[in-house]
Structure 1
C-alpha cells in the first residue's frame, strides 16, 4: 500500500495555444464516463477504457462520490485521475486509441496536470508514450519506453494545485494504437514521493480543411471559414489577417496558411454568389423627399416587389419596409430596405446677451424633432451661465443636424471684484461672513486674512471663499483686518492671474 501524507497544494504551469476537442482520438479523455462510481482509491479501471498497465495502483475519482482525496476540482466536468510516484513505485494511465495513427502524419498531444507538492516535482520526466501494442509489466517500477512527449518546462517553482497544460507534437511511425501516461525517465529519491492529478487528455490530428468550393444565394449570405488547427502558432489569410476564422461576405478565392511546429498547412476555397444584388442600406428621408428603388442589371425575369408588382423601378413616398424577391433556377434571393420619414430638427437658443457685474443668465433652448446636445460636455438641457463666451448646441435626427449659438458678454460694462468693508459674525443671520464675489469672468482661487500685525489668521483655496470670523477655534477680536484675494480674469480668449488687497472691519 502507498503511504498517505497531508501535503501543501500546488499547480503545474505550462501554457500553449488552446485546442478544440472535436477530433480527440481518445475516448473518455476527461474521465467523465465510468462503469461503476469509484468509492475508493485504486479504481482507474472504472474509467473505461482506461486501464492500469503495471503492478502499481493509479486512482480515478468522480464527483458521483465526493472524497477528500480529490484535492481540487476537475479542470472540466466531474472526473479526474491521480498518479503516485515514489522510490521504485511508478503509476501510469493507459488507454487504446479510437483508431491507429497514420505513418508520417502529425498529432498534437495535450493533458492538464496539478500537484500538491511542486517542490518535489521532477522536471523532464512526465510525458506520454504512443505504441503499436500495449506496454505492460507486473512490476511497479518505470516502464521501458521512450516517450515521444516529455515535459521539460515545469519546475519546482510552479504554483500549487492549478491546472495547466503539458503538450507536444508526435510524428507517427504508423499503426500506433495505445497511449500510456506517466513518468518515463526517473523516479523520486527517498522521501521525494508526490501525487500528480491529470485531466482533459487529448490526441488530435494536425489537419485543416476549409471545405469544398461553394455557391451562396443572395448578397446577404455569409460563410464562416474555420481554419482552427491544433497547436497552430500562426494563421495567415489571403488578405493578411491572422485570426483562426474568416467571414466571407462577397465572391472570390479565399486561402489560408497555417503554421505549426510540426508542419505548414495550406488550403484554398472558391466562393461564388448567385443573384448578388442589394437594394441599399436602411435609410431615413426628410419629409417630402422620395426614393427610387431599381432592380439590378441583368436580373432574371422572375422578380416581384413587396406589393406584387413587377416594374423595373419602384418609387418610395411613405415610410415602410420595401423588398424585392428574385428567382433563378433553384436560387431565391430577397433583399429589403426599411425607409423612415422624419421632419427636420429645430433649435433656437435665443438672442445674444450683454451682462454686467454679477449678473447670470439661464439659457432655455427651444428645440424639437431630434436629440439635443451642447458642444461642450455639459449634460443638462437648461444651463445657467455667468461668464463670457459662445455657447453652441445642436439638435440631430436621422434627417439632419441643426446648430445654434448664443453669445454671453460682460465686456461692455467691465468686470470687477466686490468685497464688503465690514462684517458682523454674531450669528444673527445677517452679514455673518466676509465673502467676496465677482462678475462671471472672475474666478477666485484663494482668500487670506491677516490681523493688524500681519499674522495669517485664515486662508482657503476652496470655495466658497468665506471667513466666519473664527481664529484657532475661537471668535477673532473686534478690529481691522487685512485681506488678500487671488483670482483669474477671463478677457476674450486670454486668462490673466490677478490679486487684490484690502481692509475690512470686524464688529459684533
Structure 2
C-alpha cells in the first residue's frame, strides 16, 4: 500500500505595516489634522495632510468632502476615487507641483515593485484645458526640496508612455508602473518629472499643442513589493510514488503568477519537486506566496550486517543503525528495535520498514572453532632420519613450544627426546597441551649386502662389499663356505672379499656371510645380519 502525507506550514512576514502591503502612508489622503482652505494645503513642511509634503515651493491642493471642498472645487467637480479625499496639482509651463511621502520601509535593491495611482483631469483651469502625457513617479534616498517652483529631477523615475494623454474629466483612470529597485530608496514622489521639452499636450478638441498646462486630480496611491509576500504557506506532500496534485492560488480578486508563467488560479502539478504560485491583489497591494512540495519519501536503506562468530556458550548483541527513516525493525527471533541479543548458532534475518519500503538482510552466527586438542605422542624414527612436521593454525590460536612462544606455521622436530607443545585460544580462554616423545631405532636397511659378485678382475663387482646406510661402529664381516669353513673376515667397512682363500680363487657357488656392528648416538644399538652370496666368474 502506498501512502501520501500532507503537511501545511503557514508563516507571515510582518513589520509595522507588513510585507506585501502598501508602502505608501496615507495613500488616499484621508488622514488630516483639520479642515483648512483646500488650495495650497500641501506644503514643504509638515502640514495638515499626514505623511505628504511638497517637493518645492509650489503647494498642491487637497480636497475633502468632510471639509466641503469636494465634490465641487475650484477646478471642477469630482468625488474621490477611494474614500472622501483627493489632491490636485498644476503643471503649467515650468511650474511644477509634485508631492512626496516617506515609505514605511526602504525599498529592497533587486526586488520588483508595483506602483499605481488614479488620475482625472480637472474640467477647468483658467480657461486652458489640456491633457498631457508623461506623468509618473520618482524615487529618492532623502527628502527632496527645491526652493523654487521649477522642475525637479531627484532620482530614478517611471513615466507614462509618450502620446498617451489623460483627458478624461468624468472617470478616474488607473496608472501603473513596474520597476526593479536599484537602491534602498526611502522617499516616493508623485507628479511630473520631465521638463516641458519632453511633454506633449492635447486640447479638448484633440489638437496637439506645445503649450503645457493642465490640472490633474490624484487619489489612491499604491506601492508594494512583488517579491515579498505578507503571508506564505508551504504544503508538503510526502509520497511513495510519483503523484499528481492540484495546486491553487488564493480565492479573491487576485492575479496569479505560477513558477512557469501560468496565470490560472488552479494548476495540475506532476512529479517530485517544489512549485509555487503568487496571488497578487493589485488594488490593495496584498501578495501571498504558496508553495507545494511533492517529496519523494523513498529511501534506500543498507543494514550493513555481517556474519559473526562467538565462543560457544557466549552471547552477542547485534545492531543496525537507527536511521530516522526507519519506522520498525523486526528480528527473526521476534525481537524489535535496533539491537538484539543472540547466542545460538544459526542464520538470522532482520527486517527494517520505512514509510515506503521494507529492507531485509540475513547473516550467520557461528561458534568459534574449538581449540585444537593435543595428545601425548610417542613415536620412533630411524636414528639418522628424524623429522616430525606439525602444522600450526596461527590465525586462531597462540602456540608454545617447550614453554616458549612459537609463531611459525610449521614446527619441525628433528631430535630425539621429549618435546612439549601447548595451544591457547585467547578469545575463548581455552587451551590444550601435549608431550611428544621421539625415539630412534635401527632401520632394517641400515646395511645391505649384494646377492652375488664376480671376482674376475674386470673392474665390475670384483669385491664383496656391503652398502652402509648408517654410521657403523665395531663392524665385523665374516664369510663361510658351504662346509662352514671361515674363508674371509674383516673389521674394516671398506675392506671387501676378493673371492680367494689363502691366496687361491675359491670355487664357484654359494657362500654364507655374517655381518654385525653398532650404530647411533649414545648407547649404540647392535645390528646383526646373515645371508648367502653367490660367487660367479
What's the TM-score, normalizing by structure 2? 0.38
Answer with 1 or 2: which has the greater Rg.
Answer: 2
